[in-house]
Amino acid sequence: MGLSIVGTGRHLPKDVATNEDLARVMDTTAEWIHQRTGIVERHFAAEGEGASDLGAEAAKRALARAGMGASDVDYVVMSTMTPDFHFPGPAAMVAAKLGIPGVPCLDVRQQCASFIYQLQLAHALIGAGQARNVLMIGAEAHAGFMPWEDWDYLHGKGGSPPSQDAFDRATRHRGLAILFGDGGGAVVVRKTDDARGVIGVDVHSDGRYVDYIHIPSGFTKRPYARRDDIDNDLHIPRMRGKELFKQAVTKLPESVRTLCARHHVKLDDVDLFVAHQANDRINGAVRDALGLPAHKVPSNIAKLGNTSAATIPILLDELNEQGRLKPGMLICFLALGAGLHWGSALLRT
């Protein structure tokens, strides 16, 4: 008994911000951003547009590609680090927007590494006979914590230049703001009676590194959100970029090698390595550490930035659309995210 990917879909907000746009509101240049991240532009959710909206639209497209109706879904597993509300999670909201209230839903909070965990959960649910069709969704609306206020000016649609204080504030959060973009991706997996599907998963978590990327405002811990949390920008994520880079370029190659060795798979036997799109420099370093050719490690970060939990399902849909996903292929997924959570998975299409 296994599973197969029967549908993929993605949805991107219509508003696009280029590196030149970001340079209008903070101390940076388009070249500086591209050199350090590989990013040229990214999409941002509009005001009032949340992760549940982006996820629902991506899910509709994945279901349509699978030739399925929403009523065929037995289980929804969704991931985001930018939920519409602090609680409840958005998975049930997405199911309601799809017209399937009552279907069981899980919110998985492994951030950028979520797809690996989702795949493991789908494999377990199907293997245990608890589901036949599982809808996996990753969606992010990072726009809500971007450190500027005049979006019209950012997009060159009028507005007013930032004050010096506003410019300085955005510059303080530059390392975060240049990386992230918004979007949703979805994958439908279905039970099969053959050997296709998940060959193995290698996942890890280590809370000792929680402050490498986190939101300092503790909500229920501080207690709850206080006025000075907002005044001091404690609702905006803090990121230790150099430390995260070191963790990713060490732990991801180690996970891939461990997983492949465990299942007697040679790296040369893997057709595609679909990695979380955090930073082009990270993925380049991981690729070099594993000795992989560039054509086996696809990337879309230049046009989308880091869409966190959505990066892998969005990239998977692009590959599917391009005809690069073929029956019998061996794919290795790999990702590291806030938590820290990281790992890899092997799947036969």
- Known catalytic residues are 112, 276, 306
Distance of CA 51 to the CA centre of its chain: 11
* Secondary structure in 3-state letters for 116-174: HHHHHHHHHHHHCCCCCEEEEEEEECHHHHCCCCCHHHHCCCCCCCCCHHHHHHHHHCH
| Residue that has been written with the tokens 């279901």 in this structure | 63
Residues facing residue 180 across a β-bridge: 306
Q: How far is residue 260 from each of residues 254, 255, 256, 325, measured CA to CA in Å? A: 10, 9, 6, 20
Residues facing residue 101 across a β-bridge: none
Question: How many Cβ atoms from other residues are within 10 Å of residue 164's Cβ?
Answer: 8
Question: How many Cβ atoms from other residues are within 10 Å of residue 223's Cβ?
Answer: 8
Q: Is 30 within 8 Å of 20 (Cβ atoms)? A: yes
Q: Is 22 within 8 Å of 28 (Cβ atoms)? A: yes
Angstrom distance (rounded) from CA 197 to CA 66: 16
Angstrom distance (rounded) from CA 338 to CA 114: 10
* Secondary structure in 3-state letters for 264-321: CCCHHHCCEEEECCCCHHHHHHHHHHHCCCHHHCCCCHHHHCECHHHHHHHHHHHHHH
Q: Side chain identity at 1, as an amino acid letter?
A: M
- Structure token digits, residue 251: 């732990």
